[in-house]
Structure 1
């Protein structure tokens, strides 16, 4: 797939429409012919974005998470109080996950290339939580806690959310589980 800076307006629009379709319906059951028909383009046009269905899906998932990360970080940047930053961060992650259908999440978990993208984003999110906790402890807004441990607990929970285990055991959607995680962390580290 051409880098974002080299994509044409048409390719960018097609990628956005592909993301919208996959997020709503998943991707395992689609063939390239199905995708071309649903997106009203040729397979040749799709091949300009990626060389295979797997590559196309991976690029769509990467594109989704790149945009989601930017949206989350913008909200965090607009917040200054340490406890609010943690809540805003995890709430924003929840908001970004809300549009993802269960089929999309299940397909993403089953497909190695997309699972790797989701896992990498989960690791980055856990690292961000560690950083936000450390900043809060340093600023005196949080009690003295082991930020790396809190980050590890957050990471383990985020991974369980990612694998669908939390949803299965609690009935919470992924976005609801992230909101609960935000509340738990902030109350656990409050001074």
Structure 2
């Protein structure tokens, strides 16, 4: 049994994927046909077919590229930050900044299409796992109260998902950035170990 080896992207393909990601983040993808995409990106459909075999597969690839890139940029931001409270705050600020790049239509389209929704949910689970790790670090260091880190992280994950889907921000009438700031405050203030009274 032989495995399919994907050839490395050419510089032209990397550039095209970058422009495609910017377009899809701005406008979503459900309403766009391959003809639309080719016209908007000033390329041929056959060029798009070198990236994916169909519009649906192309959408999955672009959405995956966005979330992978966002995760890498956030990890770069928190690299080397020793203070766990600062690390959590920076992580959530990074998530807010990455989400600001995505339009409401993009989030709607990602949620409505099962393959991209799977990518989206995997990203939310990964974010919850990182927060769980941060909480555990804080507990070990004595910065946070001894809490059920997995439960708190899953709660935070659900809030992140609510922010990403726009449900929470619509109900609370706040921006994504405000929502992530509030989540950071909720986590950090709620987890803070109270100093014992002398």
Provide TM-score, normalisation by structure 2.
Answer: 0.91
- Taking the aligned partners of 2:30 and 2:175, their CA distance within structure 1 comes to 21
Give the superposition deviation at 1:67: 0.8
Give the superposition deviation at 1:187: 0.9
Task: From 20, 34, 37, give the equivalent of 1:35.
Answer: 37
Secondary structure of 1:41 counterpart = coil
Which residue is 1:7 aligned to?
9
Which residue is 1:49 aligned to?
51
Which residue is 1:82 aligned to?
84
| Unaligned 5+ runs, structure 2 | 194-198
Secondary structure of 1:144 counterpart = coil
Q: Residues 63-142 of structure 1 correspond to what in structure 2 (within 5 A)? A: 63-142=65-144
Give the superposition deviation at 1:143: 1.7
Contact 2:64 2:119 in 1 (8 A): yes
> What stretches of structure 1 move > 4 A for 4+ residues in a row?
none
Give the superposition deviation at 1:179: 2.3
1:18-38 superposed Cα distances (whole Å, 9 cap, x missing partner): 000000111111110000000
Between stretches 27-36 and 74-83, larger displacement belongs to: 74-83
| Unaligned 5+ runs, structure 1 | none
More helix by share: 1
Which residue is 1:60 aligned to?
62
Which residue is 1:169 aligned to?
171
CA RMSD in angstroms comes to 1.6
Task: From 131, 151, 154, give the equivalent of 1:152.
Answer: 154
